[in-house]
Structure 1
Amino acid sequence: MSGLFIGKTHRRLIGAALLVMACSLLSGCGTNLLSYYFDDLFQSGDTIERTPEQLAWDGVQAMREKDYDEALDAFQKLKERYPYSKYAILAELKVGDAYFFKKKYADAALAYEEFIRLHPRNEVVPYVLYQLGMCHFLSFKSTDRDMEETRLAMEAFKRLTQAFPTSPYATKAQKQIHACRKRLAEHEFQVGRIYYRMEKYKAARLRLTRLLMEYPQAVKDLGYHKEIQEILADCRACLNRGDDGKSLWTKLGF
């Protein structure tokens, strides 16, 4: 009996030794034969399918550590692999947040808009609307460029204040609306002043008059009121003389 036991043990030892030798030989080859034959035996933790709970945890932890690429990867996998999981809605929200903190504002805006479309009655919609507005607000370049992003930001903030007036985010949105108005007022003032300097008095008057009507508080806060009144007075005087838009050559009699 003991001889039989020794024989079995001996064979196992020989088998193990042969396996080790085979692994050593295969790992030394130019081709990855070791991986080809033994991947099923030596799977790493990265290749094991993560559960929805684990992916959610991975994403949340990565967000806390400000590793937004890792967070985005986890939440995207959660969305794609487990669309009916109770964690899928969290992933949909956090994809937007991860893009936002990566300063990928266009991608974040798309994610937030999709969340609102899919979950219009969810309790976090006020937050999502605020974030959507901030995506457009932070995409702003300068007041001498197109102001579409600022207008889109103000639209999102207004949607928030109108639909959820008692939300804490509505208060924050009101402040952002005022900031948007100041941007738009600054842009309109610059355009109106350019028209004035080009002696396009009708266009300057139209632009600056509209500015006073649409953004009176912003004009006051920016300190433009006195200069606008002076420009408008001169525009009226020039128009009464029939000077609007005449070129230098016309004025010289050519």
Structure 2
Amino acid sequence: MKINRCFAPLIIGLILTLAGCSSSDKEEEVINANLGAQALYDRARESMANGNFAAAADTLSALDSRFPFGPLSHQVQLDLIYSYYKSAKVDQTLATIDRFIRLNPNHSDVDYAFYMRGLTNMEADNNLFQELVGIDNTDRDPSKSKQAFDDFRRLIQQFPDSKYAADARQRMVFIKNRLASYEISIARFYMRRKAFIAAANRGRYILEHYPDSNQVQQALEIMVESYDQLDLQELRDNAMKTLKLNYPNSEFIG
């Protein structure tokens, strides 16, 4: 196969770059293999301080493998959790967190592990592109949000005095509103297809599971309209009564 002369320098440059990266990686492995535990840890901390969390994670992982029971082992695992998290490596972060919790259930920093588990699942549910362009993302699968909510709840239940508890509570409020918004999206989907029983059930689900969310008014309005369409007068009147009592300024009432 002939290579266009115009592209030849680019291809050669790419090959040299890849070769350089491969050589650099091997050199890094050799350096790490000849360092002691403290020197490796200092190297990882320097990478973290410089914001190079991917390099820090590689070094910490090597350190964790070579010295799994050393005096630095717990701190290495905690730093590895954070480095994986900052590198957006969700699976590795969660696996490292779960291992730390399983092996160190009574460690003084186990609350941090639970907190990071919630953060990781919460971050996995975010879609930066959609947020930047203003696209509504409430109708996406909320499974990671539900898991994050459970992680934060577990943290608060087991460690109510944790320094991470207050932030976890605030995040739970945000997640609760997110999950309620998801239910509203599904309810409106059902309404567009005239599946009014399913829509009303979604509204009732919000009242039962997210009564302090910011979607209760919409849930009640959906219930009123759905019951009205189904000619279920008593249920419709009860939903309207609750709506008037709690949201008297609702445009839906008029």
Query: TM-score scaled by structure 1?
Result: 0.72
Judge conservation of contact 1:192–1:207 (CA < 8 Å) in 2. yes
1:62 and 1:47 mapped to 2: Cα distance? 13
AA of the residue aligned to 2:52? D
1:48 and 1:206 mapped to 2: Cα distance? 60
Where do residues 81-160 of structure 1 align in structure 2 (5 Å cutoff)?
Answer: 81-140=66-125, 141=127, 142-160=137-155
1:51 and 1:233 mapped to 2: Cα distance? 69
1:239 corresponds in structure 2 to 230
Give per-residue Cα distances to partners, 1:113-164, cap 9 Å, x unaligned. Answer: 1111111111111111111100000111432121110011011101100000
1:238 and 1:156 mapped to 2: Cα distance? 40
2:75 and 2:57 mapped to 1: Cα distance? 12
Distance 1:228 1:88, change over 3 A: closer
1:130 and 1:210 mapped to 2: Cα distance? 28
Distance 1:151 1:47, change over 3 A: closer
1:211 corresponds in structure 2 to 206
2:88 and 2:197 mapped to 1: Cα distance? 41
2:32 and 2:141 mapped to 1: Cα distance? 47
Counterpart of 2:140 in 1: which secondary structure?
A: coil
Structure 2, unaligned stretches of length 5 or more?
1-29, 128-136, 233-254
Aligned-pair distance for 1:70? 1.9
Structure 1, unaligned stretches of length 5 or more?
1-44, 242-254
Work out which of the residue numbers 163, 167, 176 in structure 2 matches 1:168.
Answer: 163
Aligned-pair distance for 1:231? 2.6
Counterpart of 1:139 in 2: which secondary structure?
A: helix
Counterpart of 1:143 in 2: which secondary structure?
A: coil
Which protein shows a greater Rg?
1
Percent identical pairs in the alignment equals: 26
User: How many pairs does the alignment contain?
Assistant: 194
2:224 and 2:31 mapped to 1: Cα distance? 73
Judge conservation of contact 1:106–1:135 (CA < 8 Å) in 2. no
Give per-residue Cα distances to partners, 1:193-249, cap 9 Å, x unaligned. Answer: 111121101101111111122112213xx5x50x433332221122128xxxxxxxx
2:62 corresponds in structure 1 to 77
AA of the residue aligned to 2:226? C
* Residue 194 (1) aligns with residue 194 (2): no
AA of the residue aligned to 1:80? S
Distance 1:150 1:47, change over 3 A: closer
Query: TM-score scaled by structure 2?
Result: 0.72
Give per-residue Cα distances to partners, 1:98-119, cap 9 Å, x unaligned. Answer: 1111122232121111111111
2:33 and 2:223 mapped to 1: Cα distance? 72
Counterpart of 2:213 in 1: which secondary structure?
A: helix
Judge conservation of contact 2:37–2:63 (CA < 8 Å) in 1. yes
1:208 and 1:171 mapped to 2: Cα distance? 29
Aligned-pair distance for 1:48? 6.4
Distance 1:202 1:62, change over 3 A: same
Where do residues 41-80 of structure 1 align in structure 2 (5 Å cutoff)?
Answer: 46=31, 49-80=34-65
Aligned-pair distance for 1:47? 7.2
Distance 1:47 1:208, change over 3 A: closer
Distance 1:211 1:100, change over 3 A: same
Counterpart of 1:195 in 2: which secondary structure?
A: helix
Counterpart of 1:217 in 2: which secondary structure?
A: coil
Task: Kindly report the root-mean-square deviation, in angstroms, between the aligned alpha carbons of the 2 structures.
Answer: 1.9
AA of the residue aligned to 1:188? E
1:245 corresponds in structure 2 to none
